[in-house]
Amino acid sequence: MSQTSQPDPAKLAAARAAVALVQDGMKLGLGTGSTAAIMVQVLAERVKAEGLSLRMAATSKATAQQAEGLGLKIESLDELGWLDLTIDGADEVDPDLHLIKGGGGAHLREKVVAAASDRMVVIADPGKVVDQLGAFALPVEVLQFGFESSRKLIRRALHGLGLGDHDVLQRLRGSDPWITDEGNFILDLPLGAIDDPVRLARALSSIPGVVEHGLFLGMCDLAIIGKGDGSVVELNRNADVDADLLAGEGVGAV
């Protein structure tokens, strides 16, 4: 790779395996985050080496800027119409390939792009693989208008689900509110464990003022988990994860 600093070997392995799935003529969605950034770099190198003809949409302004700086042409999702494949990272991946995303604050666009794709492939290091979602704080994007009312309604919904003892924290960038590409605020919910992600997703989506949450349920088709030795493990839905395959890689409860 042409980056001055060496990327994490596990993330690089996952990125390379995902980019190997790309075929000439595809329409691609490019994810956001540290692992996705490595993937964009690997993809740009392959496009240059092989002369691939691809059309691409980005899930954030940051990804679009990176891709264009590497010589990739980014178009709007509406221009592309529908995507063959989206490659993105995740903050948590469970055995059903349910995800928590949004650590980079782009989960709204990421979900829109993933939903407009035939296939979503997630790339991650072993530390993102968990038995149960929730250790990573769940991001919820909310309108600036009526922000405190939305936060109060989220607290009320959590209470109704037996999660009322957890905080609802506004994400900051330094001392200022974190503002997403769509001009919204983000609330982070440090829930510890999510026993029923479907029920929680439904409750959050029903709240006026909530634009989108970071639960990606039933959207991921394949998770490619890179390891420090350069190998990868591919996880399909309901996969029986062999702990030995990921041993020593910083996996939580797998």
Helical pair 34-50 and 9-19, crossing angle rounded to 10 deg: 50
118 is in an annotated binding site: no
b/e per residue, 44-82, with b = 16+ CB within 10 A?
bbbbeeeeeebbbbbbbebbbebbeeeebebeebeebee
170: CB partners within 8 A, 6+ apart:
151, 177, 178, 185, 186, 187, 188
Rg (CA), the chain: 18
- Please check if 96 is assigned to a binding site: no
Determine if residue 101 is labeled as part of a ligand binding site.
yes
48 is in an annotated binding site: no
Provide the residue type at 197 as one letter.
Answer: P
103 is in an annotated binding site: yes
State the virtual CA torsion across 191, 196, 199, 200 in degrees, nearest 10. Answer: 10
Residue with tokens 């072993």: 126
104 is known to lie in a ligand binding site: yes
Please tell me whether 88 is known to bind a ligand.
yes
Asked whether the beta carbons of 97 and 158 are under 8 A apart, the reply is no
Q: Is 49 helix (H, G, I), strand (E, B) or coil?
A: helix
CA gap 75, 226 in Å, rounded: 29
Burial of 223 (0-12, 13-18, 19+ CB in 10 A): buried
Token pair for 218: 């039933």
User: Is 79 considered catalytic here?
Assistant: no
35 is in an annotated binding site: yes
Buried b (16+ CB within 10 A) or exposed e, 183-197: ebbbbbbebeebeeb
Ligand-binding annotation for 150, yes or no, is no
Question: Has 33 been labeled as part of a binding site?
Answer: yes
Q: Is 34 annotated as ligand-binding?
A: yes
Set 92, 110, 212, 249: catalytic member: 110
Determine whether the annotation assigns residue 227 to a binding site. Answer: no
11 labeled part of a ligand binding site = no
Sequence ranges of the binding site for substrate:
32-35, 88-91, 101-104, 128
Q: Which residues are catalytic?
A: 110
Sequence ranges of the binding site:
32-35, 88-91, 101-104, 128
